[in-house]
Amino acid sequence: MMESGAHFCNSCGEQVGHDANGEVFVACHECYFPICKACFEYEVNEGRKVCLRCATPYADRAKDNDDTKAYGNQSTMAAQINVSQDVGLHARHVSTVSTVDSELNDESGNPIWKNRVESWKEKDKKNKKKKSAPKAENGAPIPQEQQMEEIQSSEAAAAEPLSVIIPIPKTRITPYRIVIVVRLIILGLFFHYRVTNPVDSAFGLWLTSIICEIWFAFSWVLDQFPKWYPINRDTFIDRLSARYERPGEPSQLAAVDFFVSTVDPLKEPPLITANTVLSILAVDYPVDKVSCYVSDDGAAMLTFESLVETADFARKWIPFCKKFAIEPRAPEFYFSQKIDYLKDKVQPSFVKERRAMKRDYEEFKVRINALVAKAQKTPDEGWTMQDGTSWPGNNSRDHPGMIQVFLGHSGAQDIEGNELPRLVYVSREKRPGYQHHKKAGAENALVRVSAVLTNAPFILNLDCDHYVNNSKAVREAMCFLMDPVVGRDLCYVQFPQRFDGIDRSDRYANRNTVFFDVNMKGLDGIQGPVYVGTGCVFNRQALYGYSPPSMPKLPKSSSCCCCPSKKQTKDVSELYRDAKREELDAAIFNLREIDNYDEYERSMLISQMSFEKTFGLSTVFIESTLMESGGLPESADPSMLIKEAIHVISCGYEEKTAWGKEIGWIYGSVTEDILTGFKMQCRGWRSVYCMPLRPAFKGSAPINLSDRLHQVLRWALGSVEIFFSRHCPLWYGFAGGRLKWLQRLAYINTIVYPFTSLPLVAYCTLPAICLLTGKFIIPTLSNLASALFLGLFLSIIITSVLELRWSGVTIEALWRNEQFWVIGGVSAHLFAVFQGFLKMLAGVDTNFTVTAKAAEDTEFGELYMIKWTTLLIPPTTLIVINIVGVVAGFSDALNGGYESWGPLFGKVFFAFWVIFHLYPFLKGLMGRQNRTPTVVILWSVLLASVFSLVWVKINPFISRADSSSISQTCISIDC
């Protein structure tokens, strides 16, 4: 790799050279960091007069060593430089950026290299000098000042960042923070009044309301404070291209592996999956850097055959997209746009070619639909492929692993003869008796397959119904991941989810606008957004469980042996796990030194280092994990890669390994996305939120009420599972302090929000009880109490208004989010809590069906479909009892006279608060054109009758004395 005795600069890669005395040039005599004289002078001229490694001032070191004729012991110096040059050669490389891993630390545990070296700047300077040297020899010498100006101008152009942070203006964020603090103070005064002023006549109701209100305040704190420092980001794709795609040179952009996961082609239509795949293959990125892996976890021949058709259609579709730069590049959504498709098109042939392409796509749709129609009924003997052999996946729960490379191999070209991206079909092996871990297990299988076949340094995962809406989305992510400063400790770039096919009023808050445009911006200003399951670009090294390069090791315990701290005892398991992770990092670093071993010796050394216990029994895969910049190892045999890929997706491969525990997608919850991102950020990684003007990805969401509630139920149950697991943010990951406190609050909020359903159901029931009993949870208001209530309501309104102001969210989206918080809370979240307890106590697991992705032909037709489910019972009951309570309250007021109307106002306002929040649910039940399901009417009548009888006949809310006196009065009446 280098000649013995030659020392290379860690900034520019050139030889260090010698000083005036003929000795090796040394800039810092403290750590002997190898840097050439030209780079040293540039650092000093730029004002950076400290060592890049140890931060020791250059001038002080030179003054201290003036007394010594030689610069220390020459053998010691040479040894130090040899170590340093090894560091430079085996450091992490992102494109042309050279850095040092966090494994190299001094005895105190602090990182040795304190400052980042931007080597692309130095290389540009060196290249400039090399180009100007021949001119100086052959022609007139260029003035030194002019040379310096040219160098500085080129460096200034190269030093431009690929992304910038745009903080929220102080005029908007400062009032927002002030109101949050004021609201917190008002809450404290409000609870002081509520606790010190009980309602003796309705003590049970009062106590219940106090408990509910305290929990609501706690939930508000968890949700509000992680939004303390929201930010926006802007990217510069043109600078990315200028830096990594220079004319006449091969593209230096990093490769990306796309993951598309699907299970049931009858519920996830193959046409939707095909559009997602086509949009990926046609993305605006070098074709040799793109690979698309489709995971068929249902082993369906329908998915396989539809991919065959998709690969054939891609040969026409990809050149058409790139020739005319169309958006989006999913044909179904491109041809369905209601816009002027001739806008900005100047090529005369566009209309003709577009018409021909649309005809080809219609024929493609017919072929796909024919395959779907054929697959509706499975033959008794099972499916048979075109060559007459039986389909290996006829039994979806017992079949071998299957891999098929459709595109990307030799001979796979489009109709214009250009190279095509790689397209790979993957169906992992499944056998009875093995735990397959659903989507998380499928994603981990794709990680291993892609590492063996392509091993791109970055991974982008999408659901089968999320297509690429912005062809430059990958470049947007690379502006962060390939940035020398930002990308170093970046584990993933998360894009917001945007959806098609949602009604304009967004009745059930399917767009989740408040979460994606408010909460995620707030998290981006702390440690980064949470991972939401799709539309995310990962750093592959972060998925392997490594710590970020700049993260220091855990500090040594300072407590004495006779008085061990409680925290140390509590976090002993955390310290052990982090220590094992540091050992693995160190072993991997040492393994990078291997360059001359043959395959057998390398295999033996890997085995001795126990890499199999972490990554599994695949030498090819383990060796790929050591290549931070991606690419296949030189020792890999291309003819054996498919066989090795089949091996790594075998059902027993993950047995006794760290897959799903420390590396890859983490198991233990149906919401594996939250858990996976949480584990990464506990190791110290950061994430970034990218919101391009044109949405990067778009998907479909279940818009009818039943499917929407089932979707929310799945998310809530996953949060409850994490709450009861060892990964609960309340106690996991405290060792090392790598997770910021506001970030921890955000993760706590993601796992405790389903428990809000319990106080929410109680609070929504209170108005009806108050109206039926004639009692109330609040005593007669004084002037102070009225001021507190008014201040609380005003602070809530002002907080919402200021939040809308800095986030850009509409008031309608905020109101829909508030409504569905109540609807989901009293239905799906409530069921999730009880199912979580059942799973923890009795081991009862709940299987979820995949939500259907296709809607009716009519616009928003699915919105009005009602699929009866038990999730609809609690909200229906709450609506009925509150309506009954309002009727009963007005009846009492009419009979009680003028004095009864005053107390009635607060109770009715309370009841209408519940009814207004449940109004979208009620409207969904009523359907369209009076098509209300009969079962809903029966339930409503039954519940209304029951509660009316309870109020009129049974009357449990009247004391025995009152009931006896009433009966005596009735007897004395002569009828």
Q: Which is catalytic among the residues 517, 585, 673, 707?
A: 673
360 is in an annotated binding site: no
297 is in an annotated binding site: yes
Q: Cα 504 from chain centroid?
A: 26
Token pair for 52:
């890049």
Write the single-letter amino acid at 300.
Answer: A
Instruction: Count Cβ atoms below 10 Å from residue 308 Cβ, excluding itself.
Output: 15
Token pair for 963:
């009931």
Instruction: Count Cβ atoms below 10 Å from residue 268 Cβ, excluding itself.
Output: 24
CB 535 within 8 Å of CB 261 = no
618 is in an annotated binding site: no
Question: Residue 416: CB partners within 8 Å, gap ≥ 6?
Answer: 319
Q: Dihedral sign, CA of 935, 938, 941, 946?
A: negative
Task: Residue 633: name the closest of 642, 645, 623 by CA.
Answer: 623
Task: Dump the DSSP string for 903-940.
Answer: HHHHHHHHHHHHHHHTHHHHHHHH-STT---HHHHHHH
Task: Residue 809: name the closest of 473, 512, 497 by CA.
Answer: 512
CA distance 379 to 371: 14
Which residue pairs from 651-657 have beta carbons closer than 8 angstroms and sit at least 24 positions apart in sequence? 651/428, 651/429, 651/430, 651/431, 651/434, 651/436, 652/431, 652/434, 653/448, 653/616, 653/617, 653/618, 654/441, 654/444, 654/616, 656/613, 657/612, 657/613, 657/614, 657/615, 657/616
Clarify whether 297 is annotated catalytic. Answer: yes
CA distance 284 to 289: 11
867 is in an annotated binding site: no
130 is in an annotated binding site: no
857 is in an annotated binding site: no
CA distance 460 to 513: 23
CB 788 within 8 Å of CB 928 = no
Q: Which is catalytic among the residues 297, 414, 465, 483?
A: 297
Backbone dihedral region for residue 773 (phi beyond 0: left; psi -120 to 50: alpha; all else: beta): alpha
Token pair for 19:
């000083």
Task: Residue 828: name the closest of 520, 466, 508, 438 by CA.
Answer: 508
Distances (CA, A) of 835 to 109, 225, 711: 45, 30, 15
Phi, psi (5° rounding) for residue 879?
Answer: -65, -45
CA distance 767 to 24: 84
Task: Residue 626: name the closest of 657, 661, 601, 590 by CA.
Answer: 590
Task: Residue 715: name the closest of 530, 951, 448 by CA.
Answer: 530
Q: How long is the chain?
A: 975
654 is in an annotated binding site: no
List strands edge to edge, sheet with 498-500. 467-468, 697-700, 498-500
Q: Helical H runs in 774-810? A: 783-807
CB 28 within 8 Å of CB 21 = no
Distances (CA, A) of 713 to 455, 525, 708, 752, 829: 36, 29, 9, 14, 6
Q: Dihedral sign, CA of 375, 381, 387, 393?
A: positive
- The DSSP letter of residue 384 is B
Token pair for 513:
């606008």
CA distance 789 to 213: 13
Q: What angle do CA 857, 860, 864 make, to 5 degrees?
A: 105
How would you label 14-42 residue by residue, b for 16+ Cβ within 10 Å and e otherwise? ebbeeeeeeebbbbbbbbbbbbbebbbeb
List strands edge to edge, sheet with 290-296. 402-407, 422-427, 290-296, 256-262, 458-463, 536-539, 490-494, 686-689
Q: Give the residue numbers of the binding site for Mn(2+).
A: 439, 463
Which residue numbers belong to the known binding site? 261, 267-268, 297, 438-439, 463
Q: Which residues are catalytic?
A: 297, 673
- List the binding residues for UDP-alpha-D-glucose: 261, 267-268, 297, 438
